[in-house]
Amino acid sequence: MLLGTPALVHGTNLIASRPSGRPAVRPSVWLAAHYDSKGQPISMATRILGVAALVLGALATLAAIVPAFVLLAVGLAILAANRVTDRSPGALDNVTGLVAILAILDMLPRGADVGVLFLDAEEYGLVGARALVAERPDLLRDGAVINFDSLDDRGGCLTFLHRPGPLGQAVAAELGGMRGRWLPVVVDGIALARAPVRECVTIMKGDWGTARVVHTPRDTADRLTLDAVRRVAAGVARALTGR
């Protein structure tokens, strides 16, 4: 639920690749991150609890009516407060993703076959990623996409394998932590994996404390050291160069 979302969302995707002198040649690997941010009066952690309460309430109707209505009421009350604001600085979500990409580019050889996607309006339902897939599918055809979304200093790495492949597995091996095909979050990689790509992965880092910060006024730069960004960037660069 995104109460307060504008009826019409405008955005601009930024696409960059190194000139090759051959217009038909596309990068074989795309590094992606969304550059928009949003605030909400309740944190991601609270929203997850709200959704869980709704699901448990629905399931409880099979066993007991009163507990089910209590859980449903709690879940609806939480999600009803989920209004979009502009009161989150967005340092973690998702300046860290953008900085990670720039750091990776600095670590790669100058001629590396890598492109960059800075995507807009992720916070309004993956609008920028969906538009890119719908309007320019050939740009991503047969390529690999590594998407970065929120890299906190705390917690472990989460490798979200939307469409598994050897590069994604190599990245997951370098970064360690948890990996899986499904996580209870909405990220651009979900939309990008629907393009004609050969593989797609999203990298996140954090814990329950991170979820309590995302989309709140506490998502500020002064709580970050960027140590996680440096370590993630180094691991992805090693996976890309095979070192």
At 41 the pLDDT is 66
Of 146, 136, 161, nearest to 108 (Cα)? 146
> How many angstroms separate the CA atoms of 178 and 86, rounded?
31
The answer to whether residue 1 scores a pLDDT higher than 50 is: no
Contacts (Cβ under 8 Å, ≥6 apart) of 30: 114, 115, 116, 117, 140, 143, 144, 145, 146
Q: Parallel, antiparallel, or unpaired: how do β-strands 156-163 and 199-206 relate?
A: antiparallel
> How many angstroms separate the CA atoms of 170 and 219, rounded?
30
Label residue 239 by pLDDT band (50, 70, 90).
very high
147 CB-contact burial (10 Å; exposed 0-12 / middle 13-18 / buried 19+): buried
Second CATH level (architecture) for the domain 14-39+88-241: 3-Layer(aba) Sandwich (3.40)
> How many angstroms separate the CA atoms of 27 and 115, rounded?
5
> With contact defined as beta carbons under 8 Å apart, do 81 and 41 qualify?
yes
List residues bridging with 243 in a β-sheet: none
Contacts (Cβ under 8 Å, ≥6 apart) of 69: 57
At 224 the pLDDT is 96
> How many angstroms separate the CA atoms of 201 and 214, rounded?
21
Query: What strands lie across the sheet with 29-34, from one edge to the other?
Result: 14-17, 114-119, 29-34, 144-151, 199-206, 156-163, 178-180
**Sequence spans of domains, the chain:** 14-39+88-241, 44-80
Mean pLDDT of 180-189: 85
> With contact defined as beta carbons under 8 Å apart, do 57 and 112 qualify?
no
At 218 the pLDDT is 92
> How many angstroms separate the CA atoms of 73 and 71, rounded?
5
Mean pLDDT of the chain: 86
At 219 the pLDDT is 94
pLDDT, tens digit, 9 for 90 and up, residues 143-166: 999 999 999 999 999 999 999 999
> How many angstroms separate the CA atoms of 234 and 230, rounded?
6
pLDDT, tens digit, 9 for 90 and up, residues 44-103: 676 666 666 666 666 666 556 656 566 566 665 555 566 667 778 999 999 999 999 999
